[in-house]
Amino acid sequence: MVNVTRGFRSRRFATDDRLPPGQYLTDGFPVLSAGPTPAVPQDEWSFMVRNGGQVLRSWAWDEFMALDAQDITVDIHCVTRWSRLDTTWRGVAVDDLLADVDTAAEYVLARSYGGYTTNLPLEDLLDGKAWIAYEHDGEDLPPEHGGPARLLIPHLYLWKSAKWIKSLDLVEDDDPGFWETLGYHDYGDPWREQRYQGD
Amino acid sequence: MTARRAETATASTLCLRVEDWNGHLPGQHVDVRLTAPDGYQAARSYSLAAPAAGGVDGVLEITVQRLPDGEVSAFLTDDLVVGDRLELRGPLGNWFVWQQDDPAPVLLVAGGAGLVPLMSMIRARDRAHIPTPFRLIHSVRTPDDRIYADELERLAAQPGGPSVTWLYTRTAPQTDKRRPGRLRPNDLNDGSNWTLDAAPTCFVCGPTGFVEEASNHLLAAGHHANRIRTERFGGR
Ligand SMILES: Cc1cc2nc3c(=O)[nH]c(=O)nc-3n(C[C@H](O)[C@H](O)[C@H](O)COP(=O)(O)OP(=O)(O)OC[C@H]3O[C@@H](n4cnc5c(N)ncnc54)[C@H](O)[C@@H]3O)c2cc1C
């Protein structure tokens, strides 16, 4: 059922088929975070892959910079309804970070500096669908957008792309992360408008 | 929409009657969705400005700041008339909320329309006669840009009322000792016990740039990151 709003006319004629339902295009880069932006200097940053509390891999900043990186051009969609097309990033594919990891886990809890968490199915992080990104638009990733490094998983709403990433924890159960505990969707597919629990 | 009130030259409060509303918490918002005859839709978030009145037909209030050329805000402030119908979804957002039974003092820091969800907290405190200390710092361009100014002055004058400070970025009243300008560290770190001893819960809301600056000043003043809750409205 569609309720037409009296007097409202569409003024954005270029409806883009790359824009998921309920989203609008912006050229800016708005910020969504629950609290202040944590300050994590590069030389204090490190990143881990863990399984059942056990550290499988870890990289300091310099070690991470020595990994093979990719240039990435993707569309991003925030649950607060803005989308940006063709954003450019540089980072390391999660496939490479998890290569040869042997696990029965089906889910991942991404953890951030500052305490943020978000839950994801492991398969959504694989096959070239997710990266740990440390550059945006050819520059170091600014802190308010998740620098020094963030998860980038553009096929899900952007709250899944955890900023200030600290670890990926392989887990058996899909336990909700920060926003998911507060009523946001466990999966978060923008094309199915999975904004809130129950969508 | 059952009524509308101008708050400033560019901001209006809309009263919306909603069937089957089950109440909401101070700080929560709704998503408003507009649909054109050709099916085109635009949706934006607006904070609830007042606690739920209760009852079957809840009357909700939102306050919309008109942005130049804003697709949804300009429609809501200019074109919507009493009797028109809107699609709403909510209440949404369970993080940027004040829990009335939390005894911690509350420091509210707002830029422009960022006052809206904080006003809901101030009104909830007043209606329920809750003694929790509240302090509001509201940054606006000029005195004429203050929304809810009369009500805030009245509440602040009451015994046990919230403390209210306005900061001006462009033009201040002549009596104001502060030089107009953007938020400065000592605006939030003024040596009063609000700064630290009281260990308040801080709610910071407004345009993105304002929230970044204000929360960084609060961190620099020694507030703990996990006591600072933020809501970024967008913009720069
Ligand atoms: C949780 C939440 C609660 C909100 N609560 C309120 C509220 O109570 N009252 C209210 O007025 N707004 C509120 N907003 C902002 C609101 O959702 C819209 O973003 C705003 O009204 C602009 O929409 P628009 O369609 O008019 O502008 P658009 O057509 O989307 O944008 C017009 C221009 O304004 C710029 N712009 C967009 N947003 C802002 C902004 N917030 N500040 C400055 N410039 C901007 C854009 O970059 C663009 O250049 C809230 C936002 C969020 C996320």
Number of domains in chain B: 2
Per-residue model confidence as pLDDT tens digits over A121-163: 999 999 999 999 999 999 999 999 999 999 999 999 999 999 9
SS (H, E, C) chain B: CCEEEECCCCEEEEEEEECCCCCCCCCCEEEEEEECCCCCEEEEEEEECCCCCCCCCEEEEEEEECCCCCHHHHHHHHHCCCCCCCEEEEEECCCCCCCCCCCCCEEEEEEHHHHHHHHHHHHHHHHCCCCCCEEEEEEECCHHHCCCHHHHHHHHHCCCCCEEEEEECCCCCCCCCCCCCCCCHHHHCCCCCCCCCCCCEEEEEECHHHHHHHHHHHHHCCCCHHHEEEEECCCC
Side by side, which strands form the sheet with B87-92? B41-47, B29-35, B87-92
| pLDDT at residue B146, as a whole number | 98
| pLDDT at residue A13, as a whole number | 53
In a domain? residue B12: yes
Mean pLDDT confidence for B209-221: 92
For A97, the enclosing helix (H) or strand (E) is helix A94-98
In a domain? residue B98: no
Where exactly are the structural domains of chain A?
A: 46-73+84-192
For all residues of chain A together, what is the average pLDDT? 93
Q: Give yes or no for residue B165 having a pLDDT over 90.
A: yes
For A85, the enclosing helix (H) or strand (E) is strand A82-93
| pLDDT at residue B182, as a whole number | 94
User: Do B62 and B158 sit in the same domain of this protein?
Assistant: no
Per-residue model confidence as pLDDT tens digits over A33-78: 888 889 999 999 999 999 988 999 999 999 999 999 999 999 999 9
Minimal C-alpha gap between A198 and chain B (Å): 13
Look at ligand 1, atom 4, and give the residue with the nearest C-alpha. Answer: B46
User: Do B28 and B119 sit in the same domain of this protein?
Assistant: no
Q: What is the ipTM of this complex?
A: 0.81
Does B88 reach chain A within 8 Å, measured CB to CB?
no
| pLDDT at residue B127, as a whole number | 93
Question: What is the CATH number for B149?
Answer: 3.40.50.80
User: Do B16 and B84 sit in the same domain of this protein?
Assistant: yes
Residues of A whose CB is below 8 A from B230: 33-36
User: Do B110 and B226 sit in the same domain of this protein?
Assistant: yes
In a domain? residue B65: yes
Residues 22-81 of A with CB under 8 A from B: 22, 24, 28, 30-38, 80-81
Min mean pLDDT across B5-9, B23-27, B224-228 is at B224-228
Q: Which residue has the higher pLDDT, B22 or A124?
A: A124
| pLDDT at residue B56, as a whole number | 47
Which residue on chain B is closest to A143 by alpha carbon?
Answer: B212
Residue at a domain's end among B35, B68, B92: B92
- Give residue B46's domain range: 3-92
Q: Give yes or no for residue B53 having a pLDDT over 80.
A: no
Q: Give yes or no for residue B228 having a pLDDT over 70.
A: yes
User: Do B37 and B135 sit in the same domain of this protein?
Assistant: no
CATH superfamily, domain at A46-73+84-192: Oxidoreductase, molybdopterin-binding domain (3.90.420.10)
| pLDDT at residue A14, as a whole number | 57
In a domain? residue B100: no
What's the Cα-to-Cα distance from A5 to each of A24, A50, B72, B124, B224, rounded to whole Å?
18, 51, 12, 31, 45
Per-residue model confidence as pLDDT tens digits over B86-141: 999 999 998 999 999 999 999 999 999 999 999 999 999 999 999 999 999 999 99
Q: A180 with A163: CB under 8 angstroms?
A: no
Q: Give yes or no for residue A1 having a pLDDT over 80.
A: no
Q: Give yes or no for residue A115 having a pLDDT over 70.
A: yes
In a domain? residue B57: yes
User: Do B43 and B135 sit in the same domain of this protein?
Assistant: no
- Residue A64 burial by Cβ neighbours in a 10 Å radius (0-12, 13-18, 19+): buried
